[in-house]
Amino acid sequence: MSKKILILNGSPKKDGNTAMMADWFCQGARSKGADIEIVRTAFLKYKTLGCISCRTCQESDKYECCVNDEAKPFLAKMAQVDVIVFATPLYFFGPSAQLKLIFDRMFSLYKWDNDAGTMQTPLKGKTLVVLASAFEDIGLDALEKPFALTAEYSGMKFESILAANAGVSGEITKKRPDIRDKVISLGMKMAQ
């Protein structure tokens, strides 16, 4: 049975370093038979700017966001795939705002019982991957931290490739030629 992988590309550029990393990951994963869907989060039509803390999702027995926009089906799909990949450039020591909109709305994929002190999520046992690049060599550790903590909290496995000193958009192949093979290999690993 082939692994199902959802890639959330948070870059507003269609041919930049983030797109290259996502493509390399796909190349590796597809070589091992993975079923992959790529979502360009910068081009989705949103009704809200992230989670609005309405908590309606907590009143439902479904793991879904109540905001009916183009992000909603991809949030639901996170519960159905084996691997969720967040691909983003570094923007001011964090992921792009376009990716953060989706990341914050993952709140709808959790159910808390505060009285019992319990939490349930369909994300448990899945793998969360971060692919990120930065112009220089500072800030990627800060970008990675919320994703790593979310994976740990959710009972997910975690992997990342952080490409520091990747240059401006599209320069990763000449500034960091070592990254391509690493990302392809990670894609292959995630498909097995």
Helix (H, G, I), strand (E, B) or coil at 44: coil
Q: What is the pLDDT of residue 131?
A: 97
pLDDT confidence of residue 110: 94
pLDDT along the chain (192 residues), means of 10: 93 89 95 94 89 89 90 92 95 90 92 90 96 91 95 96 85 88 96 92
97 torsion bin: left (phi>0), alpha (psi -120 to 50), beta (else): alpha
Number of H helices, E strands in the chain: 7, 7
Q: In Å, how far from its chain's centre is CA 61?
A: 24
pLDDT at residue 165, as a whole number: 76
| pTM for this model (two decimals) | 0.93
pLDDT per position as a tens digit, 124-167: 999 999 999 988 888 999 999 999 999 999 999 999 999 887 87
User: What pLDDT was estimated at residue 167?
Assistant: 77
Would you state the pLDDT for residue 184? 96
What domain count does the chain have? 1
Domain that holds residue 135: 4-191
Closest CA relative to residue 21, chosen from 176, 191, 190, 192:
176
Q: What pLDDT sits at residue 172?
A: 86
Report the CATH number that the domain containing residue 43 is assigned in CATH. 3.40.50.360
